[in-house]
Structure 1
Amino acid sequence: MTTTTSATARQVPELTGVPLLGSLLDLKNDSLGTFLKARRDHGDVVRITAGPPGARATVHCVFSAEGAQQVLATDAANFRKDNAFYQEIRESFGNGLLTSQDGDYLRQRRLVQPLFTRRSVDGYAAAVATEVTRLTDGWRTAGHGSVDVVHEMAGLALRAVARILFGTDVDEAVGIVERCFPVLGDYVSRRGYAPRKLPRSWPTPVNRRAATAHEELYAVCDRIIAERRAAGTDGADGGGDGEDLLSRLVAASDGADGFDAGELREQVLVFLLAGHETTATSMGFALHLLARHPEVQRRAHQELDEVLGGRTPGAADLDALPYLTRVLKEAMRLFPAAPAIGRRAVEATEIGGYAIPAGADVIVAPWVTHRHPRYWDDPERFDPERFTPEREAERPRYAWFPFGGGPRACIGQHFSMLESVIALAMILQRHELEAIDTHVPLGSAITLQALGPARCRLRPRTAREG
């Protein structure tokens, strides 16, 4: 672990802000654009300050692929999830696999890992297909001529992960999550970036709304977990080997070192949070990009017709759909679900020749690195051919890192790819899409957010036999 600075280490350049507030308003109004401006004006390591004197926060932004690899992988032990943002997630959603550290994280990962092997995840394909069929049948029944694909994919991803987690209890859980997650997500984002914040215990309207949402989420998870434990782990319809994921989590908790009821709830909430918002973003923007680029959509249709011939795709088909997979990867490059990833430096170190002090908040930003001209020609252009095996091999490992990286890389990345490819394939088998909204305004909370509609016209399509 490189945790020293040399005599030649340079001072990190600072993004120029206004005298009293620094870059506070820029970050509040357009954090993604502010990060891009910081790299363009000052390079790959930039310091950004925000807030008035006495309540000022400073972050060190790292934009190169090599710097991202150092923070997330090479020197991961020196960059921890100790910042204010992760603390807010812990307090709202619990100390599950996304936020835990040290011994807690290693124990949780050991207990959960068997549920996310490739074989286990492949068993969830049928649950995904069930929810995609439900969605597209609903479009046809309702006679929808157009849909907001980002919004629709949010609903699909939530139902899919809830079915995989809860099996037949999916409907009740989905309703509560749809109502409560946006409240808590906005609450976490506002508090995580605020230089100063009121205690959660104060009975302000915002605190009370968040507390109510928190209690509702905990209550439904606790009830379903208690019922599942009382009934035993008889299989439901959500997961691999005939069981939903919660049944398998309960079974994994039967030993002396298993999860107690509170820990089970925290894992469930993190799976719901991380397992639906990120995948929904990838699927929604992939569909919108396809709708805006008919030549790419035609090629994807051709691949689907040749490989599937109208049948429902399964896990075994993923390797046979390389072009659709490249489309998805390019969508994840342009619209990474986690546009910025935060850490805190334990000890002083260097990144790219710049001195990073001990205790510094550090951000690596897929949103910026995925657009870095050093790794991507014409970076704003949608081009799935960037992800042929040959071109992938030419780039640094962390030029593309939508799932994070290193020892804390997303445990669910294979599930996300499986769900996304199956969903895109099934939707494209039944529909041609044409973009109505060609520009979608964006913002960033816990994940990348569409701030306006991403509507597409739907035209019924019958897949041709391969």
Structure 2
Amino acid sequence: MTTTAARVPGPAGLPLLGSMLDLKRDSLGTFLAARREHGDVVRLTAGPPGLRAELYAVFSAEGAQQVLATDAANFRKDNAFYQEVRESFGNGLLTSQDADYLRQRRLVQPLFTRRRVDGYADAVTTETASMLAAWRGAPSRTVDVVGEMTGLTLRAVARILFGTDVESAVAVVERCFPVIGDYVLRRGYSPVNVPRDWPTPGNRRAAAATDELYAVCDRIIEKRRAEGDAANGDDLLTLLAAAHSEEDGSFDAAEIRDQVLIFLLAGHETTATSLGFALHLLARHPEQQERARAEAASVLAGRVPGAADLDLLPYLTKVLKETMRLYPAGPVIGRRAVAATEIGGHTVPAGADVLVAPWVTHRHPRYWEEPERFDPERFTPERDKERPRYAWFPFGGGPRACIGQHFSMLESVLALAMILGEYELTAKDETVPVDTGITLRAAGPARCVLRPVS
């Protein structure tokens, strides 16, 4: 029997603020507790009277599939958070909708075929080799693996995007992205914001960072477009500038910049999370680490891996999938309901802010035995078939599934194989706290001691 929206269960929270303080202090823990105490469809309220927001959280695999796939047209990226991302990072594939999204997807899709993405493997292995060389020359053998992987994935995606202009882009992105990201996060979850053009200190800092980031992208784009056919390059920026179809035309300079910014945002922080936590988990689980190293050594025999090796490294792939189960880079995915929709026997009203949460669904005891335990063997083909499709969805799903998921897996597996070929890792920090920015991020160090493999 379908219940009314008013009867969707949820925590009472505080009389004046609802669950606002709990969500601000530990949103992921609050969602886990909400599922445990109230079920798979939960209504949370947050904020003072007059500014109170309602949030409908959907935690089952079946509910996630409904929101992201089967009823995807009814759940749009119209919430305040996506609007803030859109205003700061542009109207690229992550944030665009309707005809804009379909046109962009058609133009960009040929650049993300498996064959094309496999061609980016050299950029990944070049940057990984450079990082390993720096580790060999460092005085300390202790590294923060999440921080190191953030640097690695940024340089790799910048090399793929910008080619020979990688150096001029990386320094600006490293300086500006944290400022803009924190600004987006703060505004996206605030019940009231001052206009962006008011000269407050926060607005001015974010505007300066945005201007600097836009300027370096625009300069490189202008250079590529001026070179035209003479560029003859295969970096992603050159390919974006050349993308064309009779139906969709081409990207103008502003549209290219929007895509570049979204690729930079989504293409390095997410993979850095997966790689960094994979290394930390292996450092805490020496038996699984040695099995992963043995597989890499058997397949590669000391040579640099390539795209063709991805399918030959199934255990490393399982390690990455299990890492993305425990530490999904997008731990929460938000939408806004267009019309009232029944999910799991409850009615979610029209206009409601709705979220699905890989962080919670990936720990749901209905789908995962001992969900907090690190066990790559969960991802054998046989066990995959036993679970609902959306029991694991670190790349989202449905028509808005991440276009770069093959690249993320390729980059992660190749880099992991190279690192394990040179070093054994032992965790110095047994636990690493996390919080939610635009993506999942470590809230403390993930230090590991490196010992060269004999």
Q: TM-score range by the shorter chain?
A: over 0.9
The match for 1:3 is none
- Residue by residue, what CA displacement relative to the aligned partner does 1:353-400 show, whole Å, maximum 9, x if unpaired? 001000000000000000000000000000000001100110000000
1:220 partner letter: V
- Confirm or deny that 1:251 pairs with 2:247: no
The match for 1:31 is 27
**Distance in 2 between residues matched to 1:352 and 1:452, nearest whole Å:** 37
Q: Is the 8 A contact 1:279 1:416 kept in 2?
A: yes
Q: What is the deviation of 1:174?
A: 0.6
Q: Is the 8 A contact 2:3 2:347 kept in 1?
A: no
Q: What is the deviation of 1:194?
A: 0.8
- Residue 193 of structure 2: SS of its match in structure 1? coil
The match for 1:128 is 124
The match for 2:139 is 143
Q: Is the 8 A contact 1:233 1:250 kept in 2?
A: no
Match of 1:391 among 383, 395, 398: 383
- Residue 43 of structure 2: SS of its match in structure 1? strand
Superposed counterparts of 1:55-454, under 5 Å: 55-234=51-230, 243-253=234-244, 257-454=249-446
Moved >6 Å (runs of 4+): none
**Distance in 2 between residues matched to 1:28 and 1:339, nearest whole Å:** 15
**Distance in 2 between residues matched to 1:199 and 1:63, nearest whole Å:** 34
- Residue 249 of structure 2: SS of its match in structure 1? coil
Q: What is the deviation of 1:8?
A: 5.1
Deviates more, 1:172-181 or 1:6-15: 6-15
Q: Is the 8 A contact 1:9 1:350 kept in 2?
A: no
Q: Is the 8 A contact 1:44 1:63 kept in 2?
A: yes
Quote the sequence identity (%). 74
Q: Is the 8 A contact 2:224 2:231 kept in 1?
A: no
- Residue 143 of structure 2: SS of its match in structure 1? strand
**Distance in 1 between residues matched to 2:207 and 2:245, nearest whole Å:** 31
Deviates more, 1:134-143 or 1:358-367: 134-143
Q: What is the deviation of 1:422?
A: 0.4
The match for 1:239 is none
- Residue 232 of structure 1: SS of its match in structure 2? helix
- Residue by residue, what CA displacement relative to the aligned partner does 1:315-358 show, whole Å, maximum 9, x if unpaired? 10011100010000000000000000000000001000001000
- TM-score calculated relative to the size of structure 2: 0.98
2:234 partner letter: E
Q: What is the deviation of 1:232?
A: 2.0
Q: Is the 8 A contact 2:274 2:320 kept in 1?
A: yes
- Residue 276 of structure 1: SS of its match in structure 2? helix
Q: Is the 8 A contact 1:222 1:261 kept in 2?
A: yes
- Residue by residue, what CA displacement relative to the aligned partner does 1:67-97 show, whole Å, maximum 9, x if unpaired? 0000000000000000000000000000000
Q: Is the 8 A contact 2:146 2:275 kept in 1?
A: yes
Q: Is the 8 A contact 2:336 2:353 kept in 1?
A: yes
2:75 partner letter: F
**Distance in 1 between residues matched to 2:424 and 2:311, nearest whole Å:** 23
Q: Is the 8 A contact 1:62 1:365 kept in 2?
A: yes
Paired residues in the alignment total: 452
Q: What is the deviation of 1:218?
A: 0.7
- Residue by residue, what CA displacement relative to the aligned partner does 1:284-325 show, whole Å, maximum 9, x if unpaired? 000000000000001011111111111111110011100010
Q: Is the 8 A contact 1:234 1:247 kept in 2?
A: no
**Distance in 2 between residues matched to 1:322 and 1:7, nearest whole Å:** 44
Q: Is the 8 A contact 2:2 2:342 kept in 1?
A: no
Q: What is the deviation of 1:7?
A: 5.8
1:413 partner letter: Q
**Distance in 2 between residues matched to 1:127 and 1:351, nearest whole Å:** 44
Q: What is the deviation of 1:16?
A: 2.1
**Distance in 2 between residues matched to 1:228 and 1:251, nearest whole Å:** 10
Q: Is the 8 A contact 2:107 2:245 kept in 1?
A: no
- TM-score calculated relative to the size of structure 1: 0.95
Query: Which residues of structure 1 form unaligned runs of 5+?
Result: 1-5, 237-241
- Residue 441 of structure 2: SS of its match in structure 1? strand
- Residue 46 of structure 1: SS of its match in structure 2? strand
- Residue 446 of structure 1: SS of its match in structure 2? coil
